[in-house]
Structure 1
Amino acid sequence: MLGANNIVLQSLYMAQNKSIIGRIPPQDLEAEKAVLGSVMIRPGVMDEIVDLITPESFYASRHATVFETMVELWQKGQPIDLLSVSAKLKDKSKLESIGGSSFLAELSSVVPASVNARYYAQIVYSKSALRGLIAAAEEIAQMGFASERETDEILDEAQSLVYSVASTKSARRFTHLKDALHDAWERLERMHEQKGALRGVATGFADIDNLLSGLQKSDLIILAARPGMGKTTLALDIARHASARENLPVLFCSLEMSMPQVVDRIMAAEARVHSQQMRTGRLSADTEFVKLRDALDRLAKAPLFIDDRAGSNTAQIRANARRIKTEHGLGLIIIDYLQLMATKRDYDSMVGQVTEISRALKALAKDLDVPVLALSQLSRAVESRGGKPRLSDLRESGSIEQDADIVMFIHSEDRDKDPAERTNIVDIVVEKHRNGPTGLIQLYFDKKTTTFLSVERSNISELVAPKESGVGEEF
């Protein structure tokens, strides 16, 4: 039955494809001639249109050849006129193929007004984009019938094809400082009026936000620690604050924990109830159930999206992120954790694998213009050496150090102490900050609710609760 359906689909595709083949693709030959004629009359207009169209934007091959020659002359600072273009085409043995000097002379006579050159170029670009969309659709259809490839890989490539058509236009490749200063002034005024407003995504921890000014768009932020130090807990706290308090759509990719485990942690932290007792169903006080119900009401409104697929690769995460951004908007992506992600191909060592992943995550942050917070493991060297972690301790680091805009470590001396001596105070060490200062922030870990809390140095002793043996001694 499946084979019969496939034959039907192929028949439908071929019928539709024939109708496409029989039709003339979108084009405007008069607009193409007007562009070329405008350049011939007023070579200076090349500065106005070269960022909008390329030789490939032209439908007629001879128009593309002429424009390519004009670009070559323009790049060398040589004059662009009937004589120079003819000579250049003759040197390339292409003059006769485009119709000779008579065709070039004709171009100047068909221009309504050379001052409208950019308008003509816009028409050429629009028709070119439509042709590109048709070509992408045909290629996507062909990929759809290719059964030897992974579906996720095909979907990601299909999305990339469509996005590439949409992003071919580059109406301005630079920004005048005057315009950038205007935007900067408006941003400063807005922050001044709001008193304490952040430029980036708020983490919910005042000291971290003050140091980083929030998590910035297009930044790759690495949060690294040894197992059991609280990477996931801190990441969930940030996700919960951004979505439930700031109402920012957040994508949380959990490659290690299942959906129920993630949800249980979020509920316990939001309700401020004992996480272990909640997981085992041993909540007894009515007040705890009231807290849970209120927390559920708040969390139900939070735009937090959880993907708990194990072994996800960057293509799958990118596809999910694009879909969420299109449908809901997107403010933050969190990945738990980097070393568990899959790659497109096998590597001889984890270094190559991690390098591919970190570069892909940085590209994802820039493409979607959102901060990407990726959790990472640290090597055992930090335990054998002692002291605070270093950038070199990033496990199978590859190019993480170079790709990351911010690297933060979680460090605590409690693990080397007796339970009775533990303070549950951890250091958040900002070891790399590409666009700002580094520093150290202290947080308090509430092991009952499995969450971190901001602390004032003067109030640390008030937050240290009596120890309970056997329950949640690790982060």
Structure 2
Amino acid sequence: MTTLPDLPHSIDAEKATLGSILLNRDAIIAIAPWLQADYFYLQRHVQIYEAMLACYNARIPPDTRTVAEELRRRNQLEAVGGVLYLAELVDSVPTSYHVEYYARIVERTALLRRLIAAGSKIAALGYEEQQDIETTLDLAEQILFEVSQRRTNQDFIHIGQVIDAYYEQINYLQDHRGEVVGLPTGFRDLDQLTGGLQRSDLIILAARPGVGKTSLVMSIAHNVAMQYQGTVGIFSLEMSREQLVQRLLSMETSIDTHRLRLGQLREEEMERVISAMGRLAAAPIYIEDTAGLSIMDVRSRARRLQARVGVDLIIIDYLQLMQGRRSENRVQEVSEISRGLKALARELNVPVIALSQLSRAVEGRTSHIPMLSDLRESGSIEQDADIVMFIYREELYDPNTDKKGIAEIHIAKHRNGPVGVVSMRFDPSTTRFMDLTYRTPEGY
């Protein structure tokens, strides 16, 4: 009979980590943000470290006396070996100087144990023959991704830890009052209303065909990458990567997209195009233009991109072109897709912008301004979204309007903020959105 090797662990590193904290009450500051209690192999070390974290979160220095008192309060002091074992931990390390080095060993061995556990879970999935293969592959990849992202499977977190994190957030907001707290879109009025694009938010951008959904989202992608050096992942299910690059070049050079497509450029314009190509080539923009992707395909590829380069923004163009699992009707499929996109935003902790079509009901009303009920094929899109934005251009319905070249962005739903309307300039020739007061630096 084959004997399985012990799971990876280092008792010496665990004792040295805990001893360093008891030796120097400030040692925990360097490791508390990332060293989790369940990284420890021995249960009594888990309990001791949890007591240390409780002291730390209560702003009580975690020394031998305070940690012993916390363990006594939890009825765990005797189980961990009493005060004598805490003293033994202190004696196990000569100095606290290397606490982070010891803690990294504890972390590494814990992740190796998780990898072994993940392998067992994935192997078990392989025996579930009745389960849809796409679901099985997605679950397997998610198990591995959680290990690589060093995530815990804890069900609950004490409210005190949440309060501490929120206190730091409030202090940050106080110090940066008036600034955009999320990922800036590059549009002043839109950022002022939304506070920027917030992590884990699903933002739905909807309009009728030809109004400018792709143009606006590509303007946002351009601004995020070029102005703020944010990494953008674009899933383009409708347009090819070449067409997207053409739009980005038009935005960057202010040259008509039609003339770019035909190559009808003056010498001076060609120089601008070459210069813009160099800038765009260095931009952190990644494009996936495979048609007909499923929500599982999108989640899988987004995870890989996140693991490879880190992502600040995910864009889906557009939601109704994604494939759901076969179900009784399309409404159920779209509901599954919208829930999956919200789950993706939370999983990667980045904003996800998904474009969406509107129903034809908009065209049949006296007022053509979109409403939440116009979202096509599913009410769950509205339910899952944190923000729903509509684009409305009056000139498309009234040729005599005095609002030519003006697009209104209607924030119809904002889960954590106000709703309202933002007006922008829109240049159809370059498919570019701009602030109303915008002027290009070159004067083009």
Query: Would you say same fold, with TM above 0.5?
Result: yes
- The equivalent residue for 1:22 is 3
Asked if 1:323 is matched to 2:309, the reply is: no
Q: How does 1:23-42 map to 2 (within 5 A)?
A: 23-26=4-7
Over 3 Å counting, the alpha-carbon distance change for 1:376 and 1:389 in structure 2 is: same
Q: Distance in 2 between matches of 1:415 and 1:331?
A: 34
Give the C-alpha shift of residue 163 in structure 1: 3.6
Native 8 Å contact 1:318 1:364 kept in 2: yes
Native 8 Å contact 2:331 2:377 kept in 1: yes
Asked if 1:381 is matched to 2:361, the reply is: yes
- The equivalent residue for 1:447 is 428
The secondary structure found in structure 1 opposite 2:364 is helix
Give the C-alpha shift of residue 179 in structure 1: 4.7
Asked if 1:161 is matched to 2:143, the reply is: yes
Greater shift in the superposed pair: 294-303 or 137-146: 137-146
Over 3 Å counting, the alpha-carbon distance change for 1:136 and 1:227 in structure 2 is: same
- The equivalent residue for 1:69 is none
| 1:244-291 superposed Cα distances (whole Å, 9 cap, x missing partner) | 1110000011011111111111111111101001101222x1121121
Q: Distance in 2 between matches of 1:434 and 1:290?
A: 46
Q: Distance in 2 between matches of 1:440 and 1:365?
A: 25
Q: Distance in 1 between matches of 2:407 and 2:225?
A: 24
Asked if 1:188 is matched to 2:200, the reply is: no
Native 8 Å contact 1:314 1:361 kept in 2: yes
Q: Distance in 2 between matches of 1:145 and 1:354?
A: 30
Structure 2 residue runs without a partner (length 5+): 13-35, 44-72, 90-102
Q: CA RMSD in A?
A: 4.0
Greater shift in the superposed pair: 370-379 or 294-303: 294-303
Q: 1:255 aligns with which of 237, 241, 265?
A: 237
The secondary structure found in structure 2 opposite 1:385 is coil
- The equivalent residue for 1:236 is 218
Point out the structure with max Rg over C-alpha: 1
Give the C-alpha shift of residue 235 in structure 1: 0.6
Give the C-alpha shift of residue 151 in structure 1: 8.0
Q: 1:369 aligns with which of 328, 349, 370?
A: 349
Give the C-alpha shift of residue 200 in structure 1: 1.0
- The equivalent residue for 1:111 is 81
Q: How does 1:63-102 map to 2 (within 5 A)?
A: none
Q: Distance in 1 between matches of 2:124 and 2:163?
A: 46
- The equivalent residue for 2:209 is 227
Give the C-alpha shift of residue 351 in structure 1: 1.5
TM-score (norm 1): 0.68
Give the C-alpha shift of residue 368 in structure 1: 1.1
Instruction: State the percentage of identical aligned residues.
Output: 41
Greater shift in the superposed pair: 253-262 or 155-164: 155-164
Over 3 Å counting, the alpha-carbon distance change for 1:415 and 1:327 in structure 2 is: same
Over 3 Å counting, the alpha-carbon distance change for 1:454 and 1:176 in structure 2 is: closer
Over 3 Å counting, the alpha-carbon distance change for 1:167 and 1:111 in structure 2 is: same
Q: Which amino acid aligns with 1:167?
A: R
Q: Distance in 2 between matches of 1:297 and 1:109?
A: 64
Native 8 Å contact 1:272 1:291 kept in 2: no
Q: Distance in 2 between matches of 1:370 and 1:254?
A: 18
Q: Which has the higher helix share?
A: 1
Q: Distance in 2 between matches of 1:200 and 1:296?
A: 28
Q: Which amino acid aligns with 2:225?
A: S
Asked if 1:296 is matched to 2:277, the reply is: yes
The secondary structure found in structure 2 opposite 1:186 is helix
Q: Distance in 2 between matches of 1:242 and 1:312?
A: 25
Native 8 Å contact 2:373 2:379 kept in 1: no
Asked if 1:203 is matched to 2:185, the reply is: yes
Q: Which amino acid aligns with 2:151?
A: S
Size of the aligned set, in residue pairs, is 369
Q: 1:416 aligns with which of 372, 377, 397?
A: 397
Native 8 Å contact 1:202 1:242 kept in 2: yes
